[in-house]
Chains A and B, each alone.
Chain A
Amino acid sequence: MSDNLTPLLDIKGLCVSYFTRAGEIPAIKDFSLSLKAGESVGLVGESGCGKSTVALAIMRYLGNNGDIVGGSVSFKGRDLATLSADELRQLRGSEIAMIYQEPMAALNPSLTIGTQLMEVPMVHENVSAADARSRALQMLDDVHLPDPERILQAYPHQLSGGQQQRVVIAMALLSKPALLLLDEPTTALDVTVEAGIVTLIAELSHKFGSALLYISHNLGLMLEVCDRIGVMYSGEVIEEGTIDSIFTWPKHPYTHGLFGCIPLPHADKNARPLVAIQGQLPLPHERPPGCNFGPRCDFFESGLCDAGDIGAEYVDTDDDPRHRVRCVRWRDIDPDQLIAKADGKPPVEYGEKVLDVVGMQKYYEVHDRSIGAMISGDGIRYVKANETLSFSARRGETLGIVGESGCGKSTFAKVLMGLECCTDGEVRLDGQDIGDMPVRERSPKQLGSVQMVFQNPNDTLNPSHTIGGQISRVIKKFGVESDKHKIQDRMLRLLDLVKLPRDFALRRPRQLSGGQKQRVGIARAFAGNPSMVIADEPISALDVSVAAAVTELLVDIQREHQTTLLFISHDLSAVRYLADRVVVMYLGRIMERGTTEEVFGPPYHPYTEALLSAVPIADPAVEKRRIVLEGNIPSAFETPKGCPFATRCPRRLGDICDKEPPPQRQNRDRHIIACHIHLDELRGVAPVISLTSEAPDQVGA
């Protein structure tokens, strides 16, 4: 391990195929990578590009139908293909450890954390139980878990998601592996928790000298964790180099395209909209000849790009001699030409007030029927999902609601839709109070006037019915049209609106990709000419390039129809890009609200400040102040009496924060911060995000 010249992991020309009914499906083609001890390399790409298969191939854990069909993987000089099953088992978990996406699925729910942690050194190094226990304790301390003794006794379900992932990391590091494979380790976690885990991984890999192979779809995370990255597309690494080199001088059109799809801080939905990549990812058995990206590429030249397999070429940049790109035309591509495509759009004009929420409250009653609760008399407890929400939105305006899981943003959406009734306060839509009007009591017009775009594309459409049938049903139900032919006609026009071919009307949801399903969901929401559309995390389950296309579509339709859009998301980058005004929620309460510029610049609420710092930004020119929040979001049963954020706030003043609810401090006209700290002091806080001037602006005008 001390020898830094021979690579720890050396993969040469690796090819992996899965064998299915349809025949051999190549998952990875010609994958090469060398990883030195202590180095961290990232693999980034959209779903289905083969990045997880790489990790599984390294572990030789491809399942029954997968096999390595070419190339070699050598680890510490040993070819992994020659190892027996027993030798592999010794290697896995001790020399190579893997961390998966779902911490809950990686831990055994019926064993204590202690038993699971102690097992690692006991199996691999034959140490005594007492030794194993002390090492487990030490490791829990290293991953910064509070009260390790208690956690050793705990079962997985007693820990939060972030704590579970820390335990999984501790487990992976217990045998001091030389190589750590991380497959989307933070994707299932909230941003503030993610920030903590990412910092921890970086710190620990330094401390233990483990090399990292970090797999993610998030380019921003790569920037924070890795030294080098490989960009994968459809089973191939299409570009590889150091972080600086790739982010500053991307050569491959796909890499360029990816950057155009990410809402970076300087993107603007009016002046500088996102540029989606045309087309969609080819299925593994339908890959085109030559360059896989060819059919989606603006620089495609027939006869050249589709002539045959394309090898990786070295790019001569002063910065990184190992920067390679798999494109025959990279010399001819002018980055500026790629960017120029995005035309600006006129800003939206806001109309009258559409939504007015005044002191809205939603409590859930939870009945505790245990004998203990009956005796003590507190049989009913309340989950305070929403506490005195007040805000408004105008016609044509986009209102972003931001917060982590459990902050009550989806509960609010349910009240608006009439799936729940609010406990107190008013929710006025077009002047009518609909807060305690369940969906059953609403007229078809009222139903049609507020509609929703759902989060999960696989869940939003009924798999048993055709696309056309589902949209037609909505049109009929809202009473927009009643004549059969007119319904049909309107359904087809709605498909046009979301830029789907008309013959999709006869298809069933499983014949559509995720992005296409989400488009149908949008068409359905706009069927009744809504005055307001609620989009609950509409793009968080989609791939980067697809998300950009769906975002742009949503913005365009909204602009055209002058619809108020309520955009609910945990993704601050998307909210900054889309929203005109932002509401930041925490534990059912509004922490800060105002226009996007006001919320994303000082003065900040300390929670907004921490959220902003936690979001990874895929731009090396952006400098961030790092704020890592300690602790977990308190349970909604025991919301703190004072400021809900007081338990985790880095700027906590003292007892006043715990005991008294914070005052609503008005910075400007409609910019409100709920905090005990005086506004003057908050105004003095430096911005979290700043652009460093000397770094070249690679997406420049």
Chain B
Amino acid sequence: MTDIVRTITPAPTPGAAFMRALKSFALIRESWVGMIGTGLVVFWIVVALAAPVIAPFEPNATLQPFAKPGVAFTKGGIFWLGTDHIGRDILSRIIWGSRAVLLYAPLATICAYTVGIVMGLAAGYFRGWIDELLSRLADIILSFPVLVLYIIIIATIGASALNIIVAITFASAPGIFRIVRGLVLDLRNRDYVAAAQTRGESSWQIMLVEILPNARGPLIVDACLRLGYVIITIGVLGFLGLGLPPPDPDWGGMINETRQMALAFPHMSVFPCVAISSLILGFNLLADGLREISLRD
């Protein structure tokens, strides 16, 4: 019996929890949709990490304007995807641009989730006036057309990486709030919540330890989908000229700068579009895959 005491004693470390999460993620192998999604996402992550190594040119260097894809540069190297109107290599800009997207999109999503989860937990668990107040607030925000909302926010506080995150958090938190609130309304009636109440746990302990972990399934799936939407949003903001300040490469901005030449030089805007679509598709398929495996067991 003492053996067992000894084997149990080490408390589960964060490392062990991470390994367990990784293990359950490994189930995604059984969904081919999920595997394609994972493949696309991993591809872009690798590209972003390896940008300095694989990008053939400096992303902001003006080299040779209006080069078609496949044209060789006079000083060596090939413009695989061509160059834009001021002569920057499109492939290099896409590769470097993936860094911005893969940094700011998850950051914005995490911020939106933090706000949405805290509000949703409070509204769903406490009910009463706090629920009434937060729900009406969410309704008001959701009643604005999203695009108008972004333009108003960015126009007011100015275009910068931080402000994009603020705007996205402001616009998407109400949607997350509604999902979390709905899940909490169901979970708060479980017997284990009553058991926690009868042993005198504090409200936040119950919300964060007893309720939130059991809402994780639907939330993870939603987070993947939402990550896709946020990438679109960042792209749209770039396209509207409200994105990351130039000259750093930004996929949406690349499309915006070259859209007037799209008929004559389609390669300038088509390739950034393909990059955005593939990454969004990756996250959407990943979400589908996660939903598939979560329904199975």
Contacts and interface: CB of A to CB of B under 8 A. Distances in A.
Q: Do A and B bind each other?
A: yes
Nearest to A509: B192
B194 A442 contact: no
Interface string A454-476: 11100111111110100001100
Interface stretch (A400-408, A498-506, A657-665): A498-506
A417 B195 CA distance: 10
B192 A462 contact: yes
Interface in A432-471: 439-440, 442, 444, 447-448, 451-452, 454-456, 459-466, 468
B190 A464 contact: no
B143 interface: no
Interface string B202-233: 00000001100110100000000000000000
A492 B8 CA distance: 10
A136 to B, nearest CB: 37
A488 B5 contact: yes
Contact of B191 (A459, A468, A505): A459
Given A461-B192, A462-B192, A464-B213, A503 B201 contact: no
B148 interface: no
B194 A451 contact: no
Interface string B1-43: 1001100110010000000000000000010000000000000
A489 interface: yes
B198 interface: yes
B294 interface: no
A505 B214 CA distance: 20
Contacts of A144: none
Given A455-B191, A461-B192, A468 B8 contact: yes
Contacts of A477: 199-201
A419 B195 CA distance: 10
Contacts of A440: 200
Of the listed residues B9, B190, B210, B214, the one surrounded by the most CB atoms of chain A closer than 10 A to its CB is B190
A314 interface: no
A418 interface: yes
B191 A444 contact: no
Contacts of A326: none
Contact of A452 (B198, B201, B296): B198
A21 interface: yes
A502 B12 CA distance: 17
Contact of A488 (B1, B9, B195): B9
Q: Dominant SS at the A interface?
A: helix
B197 interface: yes
Nearest to A495: B4
Interface residues of A, number: 37
Contacts of A454: 191, 194-195
A468 B200 CA distance: 19
Nearest to B12: A466
Given A464-B214, A488-B9, A492-B4, A459 B199 contact: no
A524 B198 CA distance: 12
B210 A462 contact: yes
Contacts of B8: 468, 488, 492, 502-503, 505-506
B214 A462 contact: yes
B199 A463 contact: no
B198 A418 contact: yes
Contacts of A468: 8
B198 A439 contact: yes
A478 interface: yes
Interface string A479-513: 00000010011001000000000110110000000
Interface in B164-212: 190-192, 194-201, 209-210
Contacts of A460: 191-192, 195
A451 B210 CA distance: 18
Contacts of B201: 477
Contacts of B191: 454-456, 459-460
Nearest to B214: A464
Contacts of B198: 417-419, 439, 447, 451-452
Contact of A459 (B5, B30, B190, B213): B190
A419 B197 contact: yes
A255 B209 CA distance: 44
Contact of B214 (A439, A463, A489): A463
Interface in A365-402: none
Nearest to A441: B200
Contacts of B200: 439-440, 442, 444, 447, 477
A456 B9 CA distance: 30
Of the listed residues B4, B190, B191, the one surrounded by the most CB atoms of chain A closer than 10 A to its CB is B191
Given A418-B198, A478-B199, A503 B4 contact: yes
Given A21-B30, A417-B194, 14 more contacts: A418-B198, A439-B198, A454-B191, A454-B195, A459-B191, A460-B195, A462-B196, A462-B214, A466-B12, A477-B199, A477-B201, A488-B8, A488-B9, A492-B5
10 closest pairs, A vs B, by CB? A464-B213, A454-B191, A459-B191, A462-B192, A502-B4, A460-B191, A477-B199, A417-B198, A447-B200, A459-B190
7 contacts: A21-B296, A419-B198, A439-B197, A442-B200, A462-B213, A502-B5, A502-B8
Interface of A: 21, 417-419, 439-440, 442, 444, 447-448, 451-452, 454-456, 459-466, 468, 473-474, 477-478, 485, 488-489, 492, 502-503, 505-506, 524
